[in-house]
Amino acid sequence: MGVVVAALAGLVFGLGLIVSGMVQPAKVLGFLDLAGAWDPSLAFVMAGAIAVGLPAFALAARRRETFLGLQMQLTKSSLIDRRLVGGSLLFGIGWGLAGLCPGPALVVAGSGGLKALGFVAAMVAGMGLFELLERYRR
């Protein structure tokens, strides 16, 4: 049952990305261009996501298991360290260069978009490199 719910949630998330325009790199880059022809429409998408997410996370934080009876897996860490800041910077640079972040990139790659396929390949390579570095660090 959990797999079906996860698939449905992914489908709704993907459709939301399409409807909101988050899968259009030009629209995302227009949002990020604060000094030029700024497009504020994605700010409304983000505000809507925050409005839905805040109460959902507040509810989840008080629960030990999901509505499906699975263990709740929320991070307890609030540490802001150089690794978090560095990862955030890399994420933002990638978002600004490509106009895509991981979720929309997967949606666009699923439709055969070459730029998104390259982005996803680089993302997977970066995750693999991170895992190798983590193993070396340990």
What is the pLDDT at residue 98?
Answer: 87
What is the pLDDT at residue 101?
Answer: 87
What is the pLDDT at residue 138?
Answer: 87
Residues 30/38, Cβ–Cβ less than 8 Å: yes
Phi, psi of 72 (to 5 degrees): -75, 130
- pTM comes to 0.76
What is the pLDDT at residue 136?
Answer: 94
What is the pLDDT at residue 94?
Answer: 86
d(CA 11, CA 102): 15
Model pLDDT for residues 65-88, shown as the tens digit of each residue? 988 888 888 888 889 999 899 999
Residues 22/103, Cβ–Cβ less than 8 Å: yes
What is the pLDDT at residue 115?
Answer: 87
Tens-digit pLDDT string for the chain (138 aa): 778 988 999 999 889 989 988 889 888 899 888 888 899 988 998 899 999 999 999 999 999 998 888 888 888 888 999 989 999 998 899 888 888 888 899 999 988 888 889 999 999 999 999 999 999 988
What is the number of residues in the chain? 138
d(CA 10, CA 4): 10
Residues 31/39, Cβ–Cβ less than 8 Å: yes
